[in-house]
């Protein structure tokens, strides 16, 4: 994680070290019922190492945005720049964790083999692969399940395998699209704490899409609220909570309540078709 990006001198949006820059991003799908303008015009930068959450109403284009970031979809206009390079296909420095862990793991491969696969594709030497896989499985608490098959594990454990696979790859940017939507509440809380502690330990820039306002505030250093389609950034909120978070204490603090109110209001504004916040925050 050493590559540096150079800020563009004189650019109004130049920041010291933006690892991701999204500029004027627009995505129109062609469908048999005519064009669908999923993303209207999105612009934002992500500083290296930040944990940013993205929320917005259903159909706002969150998944479309992540797919454009991951180079899985080409934008209709605008661009995504990762570490100074325009994204025009899946970039090496990114890993993605999707909601559907059941479909993202290969059922005929063991946990270990699933986690190892991207490292093989990256042509990581075998001894290093073994070490990185073991380390990643230990980090997600599955050191002893390497020889199991995904279908022998619970949903939460399968999602931990997907997270281990992403971190073993040592991405510079980790994209997550509603990764905990399909697990029960207690597992979800555990996975939230796991992802935050991995982020704190590894320093990987993380973009996390969720429809859960409380989850966004609990996890993020920043929450981007997207408008309804055709999508723009409706609000960009700094989460100024202490770095050490705890499920009960953090969520019951007054600052947490104020932040979640602002995010909620943003989503209500989005649903009402607004493109800027209706009220200035306290
Ligand atoms: N392949 C496609 N072809 C045509 N339209 C699409 C396609 N994929 C998504 N869309 C449309 O683009 C818009 C944005 O979809 P997207 O899945 O990005 O939203 P989302 O914010 O992720 O929604 P959700 O919160 O439900 O996951 C929606 O109107 C959707 O119907
Ligand atoms: Mg989605």
Closest residue to atom 7 of ligand 1, CA basis: 29
Closest residue to atom 17 of ligand 1, CA basis: 63
The answer, yes or no, to whether residue 10 has pLDDT greater than 70, is no
Q: State whether the beta carbon of 36 lies less than 6 angstroms from ligand 1.
A: yes
pLDDT, tens digit, for every residue of 85-117? 999 999 988 999 988 877 789 999 999 999 999
Q: Using alpha carbons, select from 164, 167, 197, 162 the residue that is nearest to residue 177.
A: 162
Q: Exposed (0-12), middle (13-18) or buried (19+): which is 76, by Cβ within 10 Å?
A: middle
**How much of the chain, in percent, has pLDDT values that exceed 90?**
80
The answer, yes or no, to whether residue 277 has pLDDT greater than 70, is yes
Write down the CATH number for the domain with range 50-72+90-226+234-271.
Answer: 3.40.50.300
The answer, yes or no, to whether residue 126 has pLDDT greater than 80, is yes
CB neighbourhood size of 213 (10 A): 21
Residue 13: pLDDT band with limits 50, 70, 90: low
Residues 6+ positions from 279 with CB-CB distance below 8 Å: 265
Sorted by where each begins, the domain ranges of the chain are 50-72+90-226+234-271
pLDDT, tens digit, for every residue of 172-222? 999 999 998 888 888 899 999 999 999 999 999 999 999 999 999 999 999
**Beta-bridge partner residues of 131:** none
Enumerate the H helices of 1-90 as residue ranges: 62-69
Q: Exposed (0-12), middle (13-18) or buried (19+): which is 166, by Cβ within 10 Å?
A: buried
* Stretch (H or E) spanning 253: none
Residue 17: pLDDT band with limits 50, 70, 90: confident
How much is the pTM?
0.91
Residue 230: pLDDT band with limits 50, 70, 90: confident
Q: Look at 257 and 279; give whichever has higher pLDDT.
A: 257
| Most informative mutation of 26, 40, 53, 59 for ligand 1 (most atoms within 8 A of CB) | 59
């Amino acid at each position: 994680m050493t590559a540096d990006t150079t800020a563009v001198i004189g650019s109004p949006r130049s920041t010291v070290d933006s690892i991701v820059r999204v500029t004027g991003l627009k995505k129109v799908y062609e469908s048999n019922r005519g064009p669908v303008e999923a993303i209207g015009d999105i612009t934002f930068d992500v500083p290296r190492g930040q944990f940013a959450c993205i929320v917005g109403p259903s159909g706002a284009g969150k998944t479309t945005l992540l797919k454009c970031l991951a180079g899985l979809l080409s934008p209709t206009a605008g661009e995504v720049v990762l570490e100074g390079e325009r994204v025009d296909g899946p970039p090496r420095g990114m890993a993605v964790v999707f909601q559907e862990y059941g479909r993202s793991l290969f059922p005929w491969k063991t946990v270990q083999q699933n986690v190892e696969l991207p490292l093989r594709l990256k042509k990581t030497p075998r001894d290093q692969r073994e070490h990185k896989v073991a380390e990643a499985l230990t980090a997600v608490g599955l050191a002893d399940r390497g020889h199991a098959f995904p279908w022998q594990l619970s949903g939460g454990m399968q999602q931990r395998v997907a997270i281990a696979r992403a971190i073993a790859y040592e991405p510079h940017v980790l994209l997550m699209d509603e990764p905990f939507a399909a697990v029960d509440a207690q597992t979800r809380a555990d996975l939230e704490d796991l992802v935050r502690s991995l982020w704190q330990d590894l320093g990987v820039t993380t973009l996390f899409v969720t429809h859960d306002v409380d989850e966004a505030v609990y996890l993020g250093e920043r929450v981007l609220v997207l408008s309804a389609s055709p999508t723009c950034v409706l609000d960009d909120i700094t989460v100024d909570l202490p770095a050490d978070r705890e499920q009960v204490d953090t969520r019951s603090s007054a600052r947490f309540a104020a932040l979640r109110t602002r995010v909620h209001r943003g989503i209500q504004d989005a649903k009402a078709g607004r493109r800027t916040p209706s009220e200035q925050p306290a």
